[in-house]
Amino acid sequence: MQNKAAAQDSASEPVSNCAVASAEELTLDPEDWEAFARLAHRMVDDMLAHLRNVRSRPAWQPMPSEVRERLREELPRAGQGAESTYREFVSNVMPYTNGNIHPRHFGWAMGNGTPLGMMADMLAAGINPHMAGYEQAPALVEAQVVAWLAELMGMPPGASGVLTLGASMANVIGLAVARQNKAGFDVRRDGLANGTQLTVYASQEIHRWLFKAVELLGLGRSSLRCIAVDRDFRIDLVALRQAIAADRAAGARPICVVGSAGTVNTGATDDLVALAALCREEGLWFHIDGAFGALARLSERLRPLVAGIEQADSIGFDLHKWMYQPFDVACVLVRDGDAHRGAFASSQSYLAATERGLMAGGLPFSDLGIDLTRGFRALKVWMGIKAHGIDTFAALIEQNVEQAHALGRRIEQQPELRLVAPVTLNVVCFRFVDERLSDSALDQLNQELLLRVQESGAAVPSSTTVHGRFALRCAIINHRSQSQDFDVLVESVVRIGHEILNEVVSSRRSRERTPGADSKISALQSEG
């Protein structure tokens, strides 16, 4: 004890000097770690309560004008402290999101996250590793996640992959590898200056990422061929063959066909087996946009719906959709690992690998995409798979597909509702109908119906156009959704649809007595 006291006394002066020095220098660490720990625990408790009680809140609520104004402020020059700032988050930010974690949020194809995924993101931010590679455990975690995903997609040994922020970027990477490997010249060295037009093919139902990608990669919109679809919204193989032949005859060089595994509009999946055979025959790269649909392959029961994925040269898909992870995390897989690295790898002296030390692992992930700096988004996927098991995710995907088919059957039982596309996977497209209104009037009615359903907070469908007509659309990828949630959706759509119809009738009867009636209702009245 005396020795310990002596050691403390002898250290007192240097510690004091360090304290003076540190007081003159800045850090963003808390001055009072205990106080910050209490705040941090409150944040965790509040967010867990936010998730636990999600069903008790509206699926979405409009943001009040006063909140909007509070979020427009001058640049802060002096800080107000963490606790005060957190209170503003709770009041002004947390209640007014797009609502995608809610069990009745069916709009677009948005993920909903998990409590474990939320905590994994906190852990990842806490250790905050740089994920270009390096000799570190987090890099091995991402490599393991990619290997698991390659196995799930049926990719062979030697395939490579990397996690990205979303399927759009994953798909762009896949198309970039296709461009480098099928152009017939070294695009990385020579660019596109030789004048040969490189052409890309996809169905008319393809997601907009492809339009951005051909622009970004220098191919141009004129290089993209959007091929007609059949009545099941799958790419027309005869029309595709004709387009490829016509381009070759005109002197262009076809390089890639992009197949869809779950189109964004209707959830349709192209005949991937036939597309793979066509690409082999024509010497083209076969990329699959499997944003959410690719993950149907996790289920043995659903796997036949996406047969052919295992034959792709590259695949892009989201893990924040049908793997239910928090935003953002997606994956691109490439069958030929050397082709993947050849499209992106570069070397600089300041990033050279070493035999030992931190750079012994090199920077492998930076050679598989355009990012050097990358976050540890693999952790939530790794923890989710290990904690829940892949069979649980497969069962949830099956559950969502059954919910979609059950919703389709429920819609067919409603005289006021009509399916406008077959339910093949997990997307349901329908509209409110009334024989007294024309198609264009029904378009306007359904547009108003969509907005009122959203504003009511009952549920959040989105919209699309099918066969030229406006439709409500539900993309069901929510692990929190239950049968009762689809009952609420249908009941709300029917009730609000009748309310709008009644307003149309009322507007007709009192048009002269009430000038200046709501423009949408007046338009419906005139169209009807």
Together in a domain, 219 and 316: yes
Which pLDDT tens digit goes with each residue over 55-109? 999 999 999 999 999 999 999 999 999 999 999 999 999 999 999 999 999 998 8
pLDDT at 19 (0 to 100): 44
User: Quick one: which of 478, 430, 486 has its CA closest to 458?
Assistant: 486
* Boundary-marking domain end, from 366, 388, 410: 388
Give 469's pLDDT tier (boundaries 50, 70, 90). very high
Shared domain check, 406 and 368: no
Q: Is residue 523's pLDDT more than 80?
A: no
pLDDT band at 10, cuts 50/70/90?
very low
Q: Is the confidence at residue 11, as pLDDT, over 50? A: no
Reported as a single tens digit per residue, the pLDDT across 144-201 is: 999 999 999 999 999 999 999 999 999 999 999 999 999 999 999 999 987 889 999 9
Q: Which range in 18-27, 130-139, 159-168 is most confidently predicted, on average pLDDT?
A: 159-168
User: What is residue 14's predicted lDDT score, i.e. its pLDDT?
Assistant: 42
Q: How do residues 321-379 score in pLDDT, each as one tens digit?
A: 999 999 999 999 999 999 999 999 987 766 777 777 788 888 888 999 999 999 999 99
Is pLDDT above 80 for 125?
yes
Quote the CA–CA distance of 159 and 168 in Å, as a whole number: 20
225 and 248 housed in the same domain: yes
Q: Are 123 and 82 in contact (CB under 8 A)?
A: no
Q: Rounded to whole angstroms, what are the CA distances from 442 to 88, 459, 517?
A: 43, 21, 19
How far apart are alpha carbons 194 and 466 in whole angstroms? 40
Q: What is the pLDDT of residue 83?
A: 96
Enumerate residues 6+ apart whose C-beta is below 8 A from 109: 264, 291, 292, 321, 427, 475, 477
- Asked if residue 10 is part of any domain, the answer here is no
Same-domain status, 426 and 348? no
H-helix or E-strand containing 289? strand 285-289
The structure's pTM equals 0.89
Instruction: Give, for 378, the enclosing helix (H) or strand (E).
Output: helix 378-388
Mean pLDDT (whole number) for 426-437: 94
Same domain, 89 and 192: no
Q: Which pLDDT belongs to residue 515?
A: 54
Same domain as 142, residue 206: yes
Q: What is the pLDDT of residue 285?
A: 98
Note whether 216 and 155 are same-domain residues. Answer: yes
pLDDT of residue 6: 44
Can you give the residue range of the structural domain that contains 303?
129-388
Last residue in a domain, options 329, 362, 388 = 388
- Cα angle 304, 401, 476 (rounded to 5 degrees) comes to 130
Q: What is the pLDDT of residues 298-322, one digit of tens each?
A: 999 999 999 999 999 999 999 999 9
Same-domain check for residues 155 and 265: yes
**Cβ atoms of 459 and 104 closer than 8 Å:** yes
Cα 162 to chain centroid distance, Å, stands at 16
Within a domain: residue 220?
yes
Report yes or no on 241 lying in a domain.
Answer: yes
Give mean pLDDT, residues 25-41: 96
pLDDT tens digit sequence for 436-447? 899 999 999 999
Compare 368 and 520 and report the one with higher pLDDT: 368
CATH number of the domain at 344, please.
3.40.640.10
Q: Which of 388, 416, 450 is the last residue of a domain?
A: 388
Please check whether residues 361 and 216 belong to one and the same domain.
yes
CATH number at residue 447: 3.90.1150.170
Residue 315 is predicted with a pLDDT of 98
What pLDDT, on a 0 to 100 scale, did the predictor assign at position 495?
97
**Domain shared by 85 and 167, yes or no:** no
Q: Number of structural domains, the chain?
A: 3
For residue 413, tell me if it sits in a domain.
yes
Mean residue pLDDT of the chain comes to 91
Compute the CA torsion angle 159, 164, 166, 167 (nearest 10 deg).
Answer: -20
Tokens of 421: 């596309």
Q: What is the pLDDT of residues 202-260, one digit of tens each?
A: 999 999 999 999 999 999 999 999 999 999 999 999 999 999 999 999 999 999 999 99
Average of per-residue pLDDT across 27-49: 97
Q: Is pLDDT above 50 for 380?
A: yes
Q: What angle do CA 47, 53, 55 make, to 5 degrees?
A: 130
Q: How buried is residue 187: exposed, middle or buried, by Cβ count under 10 Å (0-12/13-18/19+)?
A: buried
Same domain membership, residue 408 and residue 272: no
> Do 407 and 347 share a structural domain?
no
Q: Identify the pLDDT of residue 519.
A: 52
